[in-house]
Chain A
Amino acid sequence: DGGITQSPKYLFRKEGQNVTLSCEQNLNHDAMYWYRQDPGQGLRLIYYSQIVNDFQKGDIAEGYSVSREKKESFPLTVTSAQKNPTAFYLCASTPSGTASFRNQPQHFGDGTRLSIL
C-alpha cells in the first residue's frame, strides 16, 4: 500500500546536537510538508516543497532545515538553533503543489516524537 513513512518514531536530542527526521513517500506526490504539533496549538507549518530541488519556509522555519533531492524523500533537520525542539513532527504530502491540488486532502505519516535529553 502507498503511504508516508516517518522514522524514527521516537528521537532524543542532546544539547547542541543536530538531528534529522526521515520522511519517505511512495505515493508519487509532488508536494511534501513538515508540521510541528504542540498541545493546544494544532499543526504549524515548518517547511514545504512543491517539487524536487525546491522548498519554501513555512510559518516556523527558524532552527530547522530541509532538503528535497528526491521526489520521495523530504528529510527535516532540527538544528541546535531550535531552542524548543520537543514536539511531535508530522510529514505530509499532496499530489501537487499547484492550484490543481486545492481540493486534495493531505496524506500524513505516523509522526516522530522528539524529546530533549
Chain B
Amino acid sequence: AQSVSQHNHHVILSEAASLELGCNYSYGGTVNLFWYVQYPGQHLQLLLKYFSGDPLVKGIKGFEAEFIKSKFSFNLRKPSVQWSDTAEYFCAVNAEVSGTYKYIFGTGTKLKVLA
C-alpha cells in the first residue's frame, strides 16, 4: 500500500542549528510532493511543493526540499532554524490510488527550537 514515512517524530534544536527532516514514500508512479507546517494553534499551511522540474524546491521562510527520485525521498531542510520554526511538519504525497488521486500524509515531525 502507498505510504509516507517520516522517521523523526520529535526533533529538538537550538537556534541557528541546521535542520533536515526526512520523508520517504512508497509509490512507483508519478507523484506530487508537499510539505505542510502546523504552527501551534494554527491551521495546516503549505510550506513548499514539488510536481516537476528542478528537484530542489524553495518554499517560504527559508525552507527548501530536495526530491530524489531514486531514493523515493523528499527531505526538508533549513540552514539555520529560528525559535519561530517550532511547529509540526507533515510530508504529503498526491498520487493515483485505484483510479483516484489521493493525498497521503506522513505521521508528522514535531520540531522544537530552543531560544
Cβ of A98 within 8 Å of any chain B Cβ, yes or no, is yes
Other-chain residue from B43, B90, B103 in contact with A110 (beta carbon distance below 8 A): B43
Q: How far is the CA of A106 from the CA of B90 in the complex (A)?
A: 13
Total count of chain B residues near the partner, CB < 8 A: 25
* A16 interface contact, C-beta 8 A: no
Closest to A40 in B: B107
Question: Contact flags (1/0) for B79-115 with A, using CB distance below 8 Å?
Answer: 0000000000010001010001111011110000000
Tell which of B49, B102, B105 touches A103, judged by Cβ atoms closer than 8 Å. Answer: B49
B56 at the interface (CB under 8 A from A): no
- Interface of B toward A, CB cutoff 8 Å: 4, 6, 9, 32, 34, 36, 42-46, 49, 51-52, 90, 94, 96, 100-103, 105-108
Q: Which residues of A contact B (CB under 8 A)?
A: 33, 35, 40-45, 48, 50, 56, 58, 90, 92, 97-99, 101-103, 105-106, 108-111
